[in-house]
Structures are given as structure tokens and as C-alpha cells.
Chains A and B, each alone.
Chain A
Amino acid sequence: MLKAWVSDPLLLGLAQAGLAAAAAFAVVLLARRRKIHVEAETAIAVVRGLVQICVVGSALVLMMRGPRWLGVPVLAGMMIAAAHTSARRAKRIPGALRASLLGIALGAGPTIAVMALAGAIGTEITSLVPVGSMLIANAMNANAIALDRFRAEVQAHVGPIEAALALGAAPEETVEAYVQSSYAASLIPAIDNLRSLGIVWIPGLMAGMVLSGSPPLYAAIYQFTVLAMILASSGLTCLISTTVIRRRAFSDAEQLVLRPGGAASPPT
């Protein structure tokens, strides 16, 4: 209906965005009646999201005219930003940023490279950057889940961990079970996405391809390819980041430093 009044596509987009933001604010106002106050946070997130995506949109316009190699530094920048974001989930773990960066770079990076070589991702910027960013974003989410879960598990099991340390166990070994459960937890979203593909949801990428005139079956298979890539890169990312973080929960003298309330000792 909006189309009837607004003919310029950019203005049309802005109007649609405004409508969506208004819907979001309506929910916030509803939440307020339940005494849940997220107005400021939502306002900031809405404005921030809009500005960021507009900047990226404009940058894409510029990049489309740029050389192909430009995609690589762009993806690298995204990886750094993703590492920062997910490392915030594990602030208390020393070296979380490094582990996240290593995980995302070595997890998503090779997956993107292999898929680009196989031709599953086009090497032109308009294909490499959006699909690559999907892999990076999902790796970021999985990594955040893994680190957060690892932190929670370790902090909930200080007793058994220190009991094992006190018997002369290696630090890595004392948290092995928690590394495993964190890793498994981090893969749940990617696995569930694959499992429910087409039944619960028709992902945006496929929807977009169909809307822009691709054959639906091709779009469907491509969507599967992307989700499988997401599982691969998320899995690799978390495998690396949890392996790195495992030792970082301990000091050089093999003392558990990742404990509730920071570095404090338990009360006597």
C-alpha cells in the first residue's frame, strides 16, 4: 500500500523501516506496562542498527565498483568486530578476545575460502561479502554461546575442578567435560536450523533469491549449502576458541582463575 504513495525506492525503504521501528517501539511500550524498561536500549539499538546498515549499504555501493580483493579486508574487519562482540560474553576469561579472534578467523576463514574456491560463493564482492558475513555472524553467535556456557559451567563447578587440581590433575583435563558440553551447546542453533529447514522457516536468503527470480529449487539447495557452511564454520570456530580458552581459565601456576566473583578466594 505504501507503494501507492511513495514512488522513490529509497524513500519507500525509509518509510518501511520507520514502520518496522514503530512496531518495535510499540512492543517496548507494551513491555513498559509490565514494568520492563528497555526503552533506552531499544532506541539506541534501533538507531544504531539503522545507521550501521545504511553505512554498509552505501559502502557496498562503492565496493561494487571496486576491485575484487577488497572483499578480503572487509571480511577481515568483520571478523575482528565479531570477535570483539562475542568476547564480551566471556569478559571474565582472560584472553577471551584472542581466543575468539583465533576461532572466528580460523573457523570462518577457511570455510569461506574453500567455498569460494568451489564456486559455492562467488568471488565478486556482492556475493563474497554478504555470504561471508553470514558465516562470520553465525560463528560469532556460536562462539558467544560456547564461551558463555564454558564460563557458567566452570564457575558452577569450582569444587570438583579444584579437587582434581589438588590431586595433581592437569588444568585442561579438569575442565574437559565443560569444554565438551559448551561445544555441544554452541552447535545447537546451527544444527536446529538445518533440522527445521523448510519446515519451520524459509530463510531470508532463499526468500530473496526466489523473489529476485531464481528457480526455487536452486534457491533451496543453495540455502542448504549456506546453512551447512554455517554449521561447519561455527563448529570449527568453537572447537578452536574452546580449546584456546580451556587453558586460559587457569594461571601459569595452574590455579583456577575463572571463579565466581572474579579472582577472589572463597570465604573461609
Chain B
Amino acid sequence: MSSTRVRRHIDAPRARVYRALVDPRAVAAWLVPPGMTSEVHAFEAREGGAFRISLTYDASTGVSKTTARSDTFHGRFVKLVPDEQIVEAVELETGDPALQGEMTVAISLTDADGGTDLVAVHDRLPPGLSPADNELGWQQSLAKLAALVEAGARGRGQPILRTEALTRVVEGRAIVDGISIDVAEGDVLAIVGPSGSGKSSFLRLLNRLDEPTSGTVLLDGRDYRTIPPRELRRRVGMVLQTAYLFPGTVAENVRFGPARRGEALREADVASLLEQVGLPGLGSRSIEGLSGGEAQRVALARALANSPAVLLADEPTSALDEASKRDVEALLADVVRARRLTCLVVTHDQAQAARMARRVMVMEAGRLVRIGPLEEVLRAQGMG
């Protein structure tokens, strides 16, 4: 589900939105292309409380199924609603004259490859926004919605990233040796260990720059070998020790990832990304003459332009001078926090690990020695 992208939104009268809830085939008729499965998520965004109902409709078979799940939304537990009560529940809300909040139905479309797109249907615009005067804000509200759909679909407790006995053998030596870990969404995990312990090799397996000899990685519960590599690498972004910027301008570098999929970032998006990495207005600058710290910031913006769900950072500051080291580290930590990114950062610097991460994983000779909350691991390592 984390491949969810808001592709288009449709303004529709509330009646039609509710109709979508009641009868998924009605949705299918105007939204679902043949061969795709749709899942309808309904939100009632009043007072920050939300419920979710899933209606599934398989356009190829014409079979519709309505499910309601026990779920939390907006931090609240929402009671399981039996299938047959859903219509009633919706009607109940419709009949409520006090209901003033905007209603949104988000529908995710899944194709045979498991790729997902999100279509959001609104009965009205969020207050103070119109598509004409604030398209960016509008897009962001949809993006937020997409995140909620994802969070809901993932359910409680399922890790966004899981490695299962992940192993890579090179020339008879296991450089990554049977590592199984879970990383929850929004978690920041530092990977530490002596040089040659397999930290970077482990990281390189996570976006499949290298092939595991055995074991696998589950991304959102899905074996990553079933995800096309380019799609996987878009969702699992990476920042390396060296920026490796491409010749051209800063903006061209930022646009690189989306352009590979035929998506052109708008000026405003580029500007916003550059602002987020502390380089406002630098888009037209050539990459020649950027300082190491600036180059690394551009590399971060370039990775973020792909809207990854997971960010891998391989010694992101170790090639920088002391001053920019702390700057870039603080920036990375800020961005990860602000975007609620799931992040795995390899570092040889214990202090950096402590500053950036909530959880730490210690590797030695390709093996996982210890993983857990920061303080616990540092204490166990005799470093606390």
C-alpha cells in the first residue's frame, strides 16, 4: 500500500460519495478501469475522529465485498462494524444534520502487479482551499489522506520493513549473515559496528542494489523480489556517503527521480524541496562549486523528490568537514522527523547514532549482535 500516490481527485456531491460507500459498483462504474481491484476507504473527518470502511470491488469478476475492520484512526479505536451494518452506519451519518465536516472517500486501485494508486473523492474542499488558488495545499491534504489510508490498511503493528534471515555471501564469506529485523513505520534505526562488519552491505540489500544470497525483505508485508526494482528503489530511497550529483543544475538533480517515471516536478515542488534541505533559491545553480555539505543537501532533496517511504542513509556525513557534519546531520534528523520517514542510518559514530536514532542495531562480522532502544543497547555495549 505504501506505493499509494494521489493521482487525481474528483469533486463529487455528497450523495455520490455516500453512494460510493453503499454500492461499490457505482464507484467502479466511474472510476475503476477494467482489470483493477479497488478498495474504498471512507473517512468522516469531523472533529478529528474518523472511521474506516473498506469496500472491495473486483472489476474483472464483478464481485463486490464489503468489509469493515477493527482499526484505529486518528489515534482512536474504532469498533468493528459487521458487514451488514455498514450501510446503516453510513445512512445514520447522512441523516445527522449536525454533520458539518467534509466527507472524503479515498479509493485505492490495485493492479495485477500490486501497484497502487489512490483516487480521492471529495464532497467539498477543505476549508480555505480551492484547487485554483492553492493547488499545492490541496495536494498536500490529499497526500495526508493517502498516508492515513496507508496507515489504516497496514493495520496495527505490521512493520513497514522486515528482513527475514537476510544473507549475502561473497566469495564464500557471509558479509551479511542471517539478519532478521522489523522496522516500524516512522522508526529511525541506527546501524553501528566496526568497519567491515557489514553495515553498508546490509543497507545495500534493502533497496536491492545487491542480491541476497538467501533470505528476503518484506516491504509493507510484500516480498520485495515481487516489486519491480525501479519501483522498489523509488519507495526505498538512499543517501550515500558521497553525493554523486549528476552534471547540471541543482534543480535538474532534484527532478531526476520523478523524471525517470515521466513525472515533471513543478517549480513549486522543487523550491519546496530545496527549502526543506536549507538551500532556498539554489535551483538554478550549477552543481560545480557546491560545498560538500551543500552537495549532500542536494542529494537528500533528490532522494526526497521520489517521496520514499523508507530512507536509507549510508554514512551520510562521514565525508564532510566537522562544521557541515553537524549541520547535515541535524537537517537529516529534522527532515526525517517532519516527514515521519522511516529511516535506517549507517554510522560509525556512536554519538551520531545517539543523536539521530531511537533504536540502534549493532553488527559484527556480518551478524546482528544486538538491536533495541537506544539507551538499552548503549548500556549493553558498555557505552551508555
Interface residue ranges, A against B (CB under 8 Å): 159-160, 162-170, 173, 251, 253-256, 263-268
Query: Are the CB atoms of B260 and A170 closer together than 8 Å?
Result: yes
Query: Are the CB atoms of A167 and B257 closer together than 8 Å?
Result: yes
Assess A162 versus B209: contact at CB under 8 Å? Given A167-B256, A265-B204, A267-B195: yes
Q: Which residues, 203 to 220 on B, are CB-close (under 8 Å) to A? A: 204, 207-211
- The CA-CA distance from A254 to B303 in the complex, in Å, is 18
* A167 CB contacts on chain B under 8 angstroms: 233-234, 237, 256-257, 260, 302-303, 306
Query: Are the CB atoms of B244 and A265 closer together than 8 Å?
Result: no
B175 within 8 A of A: yes
B170 within 8 A of A: yes
- The CA-CA distance from A251 to B170 in the complex, in Å, is 16
Query: Are the CB atoms of A168 and B306 closer together than 8 Å?
Result: yes
B238 within 8 A of A: yes
Number of B interface residues in the complex (CB < 8 A): 39
Assess A265 versus B210: contact at CB under 8 Å? Given A164-B246, A167-B256, A168-B306: yes
- The CA-CA distance from A256 to B229 in the complex, in Å, is 12
The 3 A-B residue pairs whose C-beta atoms are closest, nearest first, are: A163-B244, A268-B200, A254-B229
Query: Are the CB atoms of A160 and B209 closer together than 8 Å?
Result: no
B231 within 8 A of A: yes
Main secondary structure of the interface of B (DSSP, over half): mixed
Query: Are the CB atoms of A255 and B260 closer together than 8 Å?
Result: no
B84 within 8 A of A: no
Main secondary structure of the interface of A (DSSP, over half): loop
B47 within 8 A of A: no
For B261, give its contact among A164, A168, A264, A265 (CB under 8 Å): A168
Taking the nearest CB of chain A, how far is it from the CB of B189, in angstroms? 16
Q: Which residues, 324 to 376 on B, are CB-close (under 8 Å) to A? A: 346
* A168 CB contacts on chain B under 8 angstroms: 230-231, 233-234, 257, 260-261, 306
Assess A253 versus B211: contact at CB under 8 Å? Given A167-B256, A168-B234, A268-B197: yes
- The CA-CA distance from A130 to B22 in the complex, in Å, is 82
Query: Are the CB atoms of A255 and B211 closer together than 8 Å?
Result: yes
Closest to A256 in B: B209
Taking the nearest CB of chain A, how far is it from the CB of B207, in angstroms? 6
Q: Which residues, 302 to 317 on B, are CB-close (under 8 Å) to A? A: 302-303, 306
Query: Are the CB atoms of A263 and B170 closer together than 8 Å?
Result: yes
Query: Are the CB atoms of A165 and B246 closer together than 8 Å?
Result: no
Taking the nearest CB of chain B, how far is it from the CB of A168, in angstroms? 4
- The CA-CA distance from A264 to B175 in the complex, in Å, is 10
Could you give 16 example pairs across A and B, Cβ below 8 Å?
Answer: A159-B240, A160-B246, A162-B209, A166-B233, A166-B237, A167-B257, A167-B303, A253-B211, A253-B229, A254-B229, A255-B209, A255-B211, A265-B204, A268-B196, A268-B199, A268-B200
Query: Are the CB atoms of B233 and A265 closer together than 8 Å?
Result: no
- The CA-CA distance from A194 to B346 in the complex, in Å, is 55
* A164 CB contacts on chain B under 8 angstroms: 246, 256
Interface residue ranges, B against A (CB under 8 Å): 168, 170-171, 175, 195-201, 204, 207-211, 225, 229-231, 233-234, 237-238, 240, 242-244, 246, 256-257, 260-261, 299, 302-303, 306, 346
Query: Are the CB atoms of A265 and B211 closer together than 8 Å?
Result: no
Query: Are the CB atoms of A268 and B261 closer together than 8 Å?
Result: no
Q: A168-B260, A168-B261 are in contact. List 15 more A-B contacts (CB 8 A).
A: A163-B299, A166-B233, A166-B240, A166-B303, A167-B256, A169-B260, A253-B208, A254-B208, A254-B229, A265-B170, A265-B175, A267-B196, A267-B200, A268-B195, A268-B197
- The CA-CA distance from A62 to B193 in the complex, in Å, is 71
Taking the nearest CB of chain A, how far is it from the CB of B172, in angstroms? 11
Taking the nearest CB of chain A, how far is it from the CB of B208, in angstroms? 6
- The CA-CA distance from A43 to B231 in the complex, in Å, is 56
* B168 CB contacts on chain A under 8 angstroms: 265
* A254 CB contacts on chain B under 8 angstroms: 208, 229-230
Taking the nearest CB of chain A, how far is it from the CB of B298, in angstroms? 12
- The CA-CA distance from A264 to B201 in the complex, in Å, is 10
Taking the nearest CB of chain B, how far is it from the CB of A221, in angstroms? 44
Closest to A251 in B: B211
Query: Are the CB atoms of B208 and A170 closer together than 8 Å?
Result: no
* B256 CB contacts on chain A under 8 angstroms: 164, 167, 169
- The CA-CA distance from A168 to B207 in the complex, in Å, is 10
* A165 CB contacts on chain B under 8 angstroms: 209, 233
* B198 CB contacts on chain A under 8 angstroms: 268
Taking the nearest CB of chain B, how far is it from the CB of A38, in angstroms? 32
Assess A268 versus B201: contact at CB under 8 Å? Given A167-B257, A253-B211, A255-B210: yes
For B170, give its contact among A169, A170, A264 (CB under 8 Å): A264
Assess A255 versus B197: contact at CB under 8 Å? Given A167-B306, A263-B170: no
- The CA-CA distance from A237 to B242 in the complex, in Å, is 37
Query: Are the CB atoms of A159 and B242 closer together than 8 Å?
Result: yes
Closest to B234 in A: A168
- The CA-CA distance from A163 to B303 in the complex, in Å, is 10
Taking the nearest CB of chain B, how far is it from the CB of A21, in angstroms? 43
Taking the nearest CB of chain B, how far is it from the CB of A165, in angstroms? 6
- The CA-CA distance from A265 to B175 in the complex, in Å, is 9
Taking the nearest CB of chain B, how far is it from the CB of A156, in angstroms? 13
* A169 CB contacts on chain B under 8 angstroms: 230, 256, 260
Taking the nearest CB of chain A, how far is it from the CB of B203, in angstroms? 9
* A166 CB contacts on chain B under 8 angstroms: 207, 209, 233, 237-238, 240, 303
- The CA-CA distance from A255 to B199 in the complex, in Å, is 19
Residue of A168, A251, A253, A263 with most partner-chain B CB within 10 A: A168
